[in-house]
Amino acid sequence: MRELDKKAMGRRIRQIRLTAEMRQWEIARLLGTTQSAIHKYENGVVPEPRRLVEVARIGNTSVEWVLTGHHWENGSEDQPRITPELLETACLLREVEADERVRLSEALRIMREAARAVQEEMGSEDAQSAVLAEQLATHSTQTVKLLEAACRIQKAVLSQVTEDAERRLESPHIAGGDAS
């Protein structure tokens, strides 16, 4: 058995991150770790197993490839584990609060049902229904992204209003005029 080339492993982790068009802090947030930990991984520190598995999933590859640069041929699946779209959605959803996720999930479910209804209405063999369903699915994805952005803006505004109110409550005021 060959010794693990940690520098090469680090280069593969970096390659996965760059292929996913992510910055170190973005992949760190997705993995539930710090940017400095990602920097260490990319420079040859072996991640803990659960993070190694997630890095492999992000790269649509195997843990073996991340560690050694080789794929295990027998029993490997040719299907990608995570699509770029799913990865992007996961990154966005990680920023959304749990109650907001429930609302977004419900909105997406309604849009999927609408797409399915359109497809059934037009006939499953009708090419136009496939086009309409695809357009509705694309619209659904864009709507979810807009809803997520609106939630982030709402949070930022609420945070700012709260901070302003706290500052006003903490600042001394003179009641009833001049104290001299």
Overall average pLDDT of the 147-151 stretch:
73
Residue 77 has a pLDDT of: 47
Instruction: Label residue 164 by pLDDT band (50, 70, 90).
Output: confident
pLDDT (tens digit per residue) in 5-18: 999 999 999 999 99
DSSP structure string for the chain: -PPP-HHHHHHHHHHHHHHTT--HHHHHHHHTS-HHHHHHHHTTPPPPHHHHHHHHHHTTS-HHHHHHS----TT---S-SS-HHHHHHHHHHHTS-HHHHHHHHHHHHHHHHHHHHHHHHH-TT-HHHHHHHHHHHHHHHHHHHHHHHHHHHHHHHHHHHHHHHHHHHHS---TTS---
Quick check: 171 pLDDT over 90? no
Quick check: 124 pLDDT over 70? no
More confident residue, 74 or 84: 84
Quick check: 74 pLDDT over 50? no
Listed by start position, the domains of the chain span 6-68, 95-170
Instruction: Report the CATH number of the 6-68 domain.
Output: 1.10.260.40
More confident residue, 119 or 22: 22
Residue 106 has a pLDDT of: 82
More confident residue, 158 or 110: 110
Overall average pLDDT of the 129-136 stretch:
67
pTM for the model stands at: 0.44
More confident residue, 42 or 68: 42
Quick check: 176 pLDDT over 50? no
